Amino acid sequence: MPFMSVKFNLQKRVKLAQGLWMFYWLSVIVGISIFSLGIFFKIELRKRSEVMDNSESHLVPNLLILVGMLACGLNAFGGKMCHDALDPIKFSKMKPMLKPFMLLSCGFSMLLLLVALLCFLMQFSIYLTLAEGLKNTIRFYKDTDTPGRCFMKRTLDITQIEFRCCGNNNFRDWFEVQWISNRYLDMSNDVVKDRVLSNVEGKYLMDSVPFSCCNPGSPRPCIQHHLTNNSAHYDYDHRTEELNIWTRGCREAVFSYYSSIMTSIGVLIIITIILESMDVAGLKYLSTSLETMTDPENPECESEGWLLEKGFKETFADVLTKLKTLGRANQVQEGGDAPEVSPP
Amino acid sequence: MTLLKMKFNQQRRVRLAQGLWLMSWLAVTGGAFIFCLGVYLKTELLRRDEVMENAEIHVVPNILMMVGLASMGTNWVASRVCQDSLDVSRFPRWKVPLLAWFAMAALLCCLLLTVVVLSYALQGSLEDSLKVGLRNGIRFYKDTDVPGRCFQKETIDRLQMEFRCCGNNNFKDWFEVQWVSSRYLDFTSQEVKDRIRSNVDGRYLLDGVPFSCCNPASPRPCLQNHLTDSRAHYNYEYQSEELNLYSRGCRQALTDYYMGLMNSTGPGVLSLFSCVQMSVLLSMRYLQTAVEAAIASENPEGESEGYLLDKGVKETYQDVRAKVLGLLKFGQVDPSEDASGAAEGAKTADTEKAATPTPAS
């Protein structure tokens, strides 16, 4: 007994073909948007690759670009098939291509599922890469004269201004590194000598942050230096001061930005999976309804369309036996040869 | 002697109507594009409203939006006329509205030209408006506790960071105003007292700039204070330091930005659109005259002539002038004639006007 069968007359078949054609072209548009989102994501990763140590994984955007192109191609072909299906000559020509095409669509949906899963899982990888990358960028902030690290200062400053954040976890990360290059330190000055001698590694550490940590929304001009010293500034209490510099860490800020991009791409891919399944189901209905026409010469005759020829359980059992015989194709059957071998 | 006469048979008339229909829909999309352009320019100007003193420059996006909407309507009407032009029974009802249509289309072309001219001409006004607005912004930078000026600081800081500029003309504008609020000054400190006494108005002036002037591309951490004192910082030479702060003034930066917006879109888009509009206008004139001639002749499906102007340019101009003057004199009472005689004369003049096909409209 066919699974979910529906009766079709000519009008219903034509409506199904037209509706399916529109769905396929909608899927093409969705495929184009996946492709462009993949490119956008790749560009965004490239833009900030310096704060991620140039070690970020481009797997997800590359897969998105590939999947977008495949979706466009597959769905455009499907749309063409719908367009040709109502013409009996063209339909008979394309009948042998139907089954492989539907299998290919199912395989493509599996690939889409994998990509959606990756979109959600790779967020962890980005988080870890960001943590490591930001730590290094803050360490190399002062090395504007070292080849390969010249632009770390500018990149980190622009990132902190753009994402309204300061430091890795918070602004205190700046207290632990020397972010002023030795070129600009007067080593003969007593204050400088005291600070350099105050720690084991001889770094010039201060309780100050760069200007890019400043919050423009603060009512008072930005206090960058001597942040933990209340007496250094008039009417200042560092424990209650909130608006002076950004309190959020850049790892949180940049990660939430990328996470929102990846989550929305994941949602779009799930919508694409649903669309693709609907396309395959519609195509199956259309092809079965055209094949089961009781009178092929008369286009107005009735026909029946279904999703599966037998019931769900029987189809599943069929597939299992087919897989088993595939494996046993080369094995010699024990009982079968005996009657032939024994001489009469 | 008619101007630019052309022969049209039925097929050519049909082709002309179809081509004109396509072009008028193209012009509708062009009008929608110009409207969106106007909206975009207006929102960009409104975003920086706080540093502009007057709104004279807003006339450019306002005209753009009006022209966009008007051209969408006008060209939609043109497409309706095209659809009716090949139907003998429905075309005559467009006779009078077409006069208004021609006037509207010509007005649109003139307005587009005006917009291009204005976008160049108003540059001076924009600069002046920015000069005053920025000067006030810098003066009220410290007044974060005064209602109405609370957000000047944030506005100016964000502006300087986004447009990579500092001050009005350059960073020295910050040396002339007190940009640190008195709430955060310790008046018992000797240094503060010295600075306040150093000038007539009792303002706390310093040779320092806010943090938003800092240039991230500088190889050294930003120097904000004691900028004119080369000895205050190690390895610092005030005269030769270029990368530390933004060297451009905000007035220059904003003017460049807005001029760039208007000049990149202005000539290209608007001249293209006015070409399309002009060709719609001319094709409509040909279609109107050809179809009217065909309807008036015995064989509506046969050949007819289309032209731009019934008489030559000079004669048409004289005709139009006479008619306009006649219209103006219609209200005046002529002392030499009778009142009833004048009314009769006016009535016959009116019917005459309606009878003859208007050559130049």
pLDDT digits (tens, 9 = 90+) for A51-85: 898 888 899 999 999 999 999 999 999 999 888 88
Q: DSSP assignment of B39-72, as one string?
A: HHHHHHHHHTGGG-S--GGGHHHHHHHHHHHHHH
Kindly report, residue by residue over A120-134, the tens digit of the pLDDT: 999 999 999 999 999
Kindly report, residue by residue over A126-170, the tens digit of the pLDDT: 999 999 999 999 999 999 999 988 999 999 999 999 999 999 999
Does residue A4 register a pLDDT over 90?
no
Residues of chain A in contact with residue B145, where contact means CB-CB under 8 angstroms, are 219
If you count them, how many residues does chain B have? 361
CB-based contact (8 Å) between B123 and chain A?
Answer: no
Name the band, by pLDDT with cuts 50, 70 and 90, for residue A344.
very low
| A46-50 long-range Cβ contacts below 8 angstroms, 24+ apart | A48/A155, A48/A159, A48/A254, A50/A133, A50/A137, A50/A151, A50/A152, A50/A155
Q: What per-residue confidence (pLDDT) applies to A124?
A: 94
Interchain contact, B211 vs A211, CB within 8 Å? yes
Report the alpha-carbon distance of residue B238 to residue B230 in Å, rounded: 5
Candidates B184, B231, B233, partner chain A, best to mutate (most A CBs within 10 A): B184
B224 DSSP assignment? -
3-state helix, strand, coil in chain B (%, to 5): 65, 5, 30
Show pLDDT as tens, one digit a residue, over chain B (361 residues): 677 788 888 888 888 889 999 999 999 999 999 999 999 999 999 999 999 988 889 999 999 999 999 999 999 999 988 888 877 788 888 888 888 898 899 899 899 889 888 888 999 999 999 999 999 999 999 999 999 889 999 999 999 999 999 999 999 999 999 999 999 999 999 999 999 998 888 899 999 999 999 999 999 999 999 999 988 888 899 888 889 999 999 999 999 999 998 888 778 888 888 889 989 998 998 888 888 888 888 777 778 888 787 777 788 788 878 888 888 887 666 555 544 444 444 444 444 444 444 444 4
- A254/chain B closest Cα distance in angstroms: 19
- For residue B134, which of B166, B161, B164 has the smallest C-alpha distance? B166
Interchain contact, A234 vs B211, CB within 8 Å? no
Name the band, by pLDDT with cuts 50, 70 and 90, for residue A41.
very high
If you count them, how many residues does chain A have? 344
Least CB–CB distance from A214: residue in B183, B189, B211: B211
Give the phi and the psi of residue B147 in degrees, each rounded to 5: -60, 135
Q: What per-residue confidence (pLDDT) applies to B334?
A: 56
Residues above pLDDT 90, as percent of chain A: 59
Q: Above 0.90 for ipTM, yes or no?
A: no
Interchain contact, A186 vs B181, CB within 8 Å? no
Report the alpha-carbon distance of residue B225 to residue B43 in Å, rounded: 36
Interchain contact, B216 vs A180, CB within 8 Å? no
Q: What per-residue confidence (pLDDT) applies to B361?
A: 42
CB-based contact (8 Å) between A212 and chain B?
Answer: yes
Least CB–CB distance from B212: residue in A153, A210, A216: A216
Residue of B nearest to A211 (CA): B211
Interstrand relation of A6-8 and B304-306 (parallel, antiparallel or unpaired): unpaired
Q: Residues 53..82 of A with a Cβ closer than 8 Å to B: which?
A: none
Interchain contact, A154 vs B216, CB within 8 Å? yes
Q: Please, which residues have CB within 8 angstroms of residue B129's CB and are 6 or more apart in sequence?
A: B52, B53, B54, B56, B57
**Contact call for residues A145 and B220 (beta carbons, < 8 A):** no
3-state helix, strand, coil in chain A (%, to 5): 65, 5, 35
Residue of A nearest to B146 (CA): A219
Q: What per-residue confidence (pLDDT) applies to B227?
A: 92
Q: What per-residue confidence (pLDDT) applies to B256?
A: 95
CB-based contact (8 Å) between B137 and chain A?
Answer: no
The predicted model gives A212-228 an average pLDDT of: 93
Q: What per-residue confidence (pLDDT) applies to A168?
A: 94
**Contact call for residues B50 and B155 (beta carbons, < 8 A):** yes
Mean pLDDT across chain A = 88
pTM of the shown model = 0.79
Q: What per-residue confidence (pLDDT) applies to B335?
A: 57
CB-based contact (8 Å) between A161 and chain B?
Answer: yes
